[in-house]
Amino acid sequence: MDSSRGGFGLPCSAAKEGRPQVSRRCPHCRKAFEPSTGKQRYCGRKCYRAVYGVVNRKKIRKRKTAYRAANRDRIHKKQAAYYAANREAINKRHAAYYAANRGGILKRRAAYYVANRERIAKRDAGRYAAKKMERKRLAQTGPAR
């Protein structure tokens, strides 16, 4: 047989094995995979997203904040409606979570408070002042309609 005349110079065995020469290693999970396009770097959506989220954390947060600011009313309404529709299920889940994780939650909360004591005190003072001003305003102008 004359193998030099076969097709486009691709030995049959290589074509059948799915072109092993372009196999890559996923930089996230380190598994070998065969990309379906030349640009594919990760083995799948899961790994891509995992890496994307870490690498672009700041960008994502910025975008999210901007989105929230632009859609504040709509988001609040949707959340309120969701909560109203699922109140019991949500409360049950929260209660179950709290019961199961009470020790960890309390510990974390206490640690957070210790670490942020000054900031919290400042925030509370600010809130208190704002409430006081609001009360004053109400006393002067009467309740908002």
Give the interface with Zn ion as residue ranges (CB under 5 A): 26, 28-29, 43, 47
Nearer to Zn ion, 25 or 123 (CB): 25
**78 vs 111: CA distance, rounded Å:** 33
**34 vs 43: CA distance, rounded Å:** 8
CB of 143 to Zn ion, least distance (A): 59
Is residue 25 helix, strand or coil? strand
Nearer to Zn ion, 49 or 68 (CB): 49
42, 26 Cβ separation under 8 angstroms: yes
CB of 65 to Zn ion, least distance (A): 30
Nearer to Zn ion, 24 or 29 (CB): 29
CB of 52 to Zn ion, least distance (A): 12
Q: What is the DSSP letter of 6?
A: S
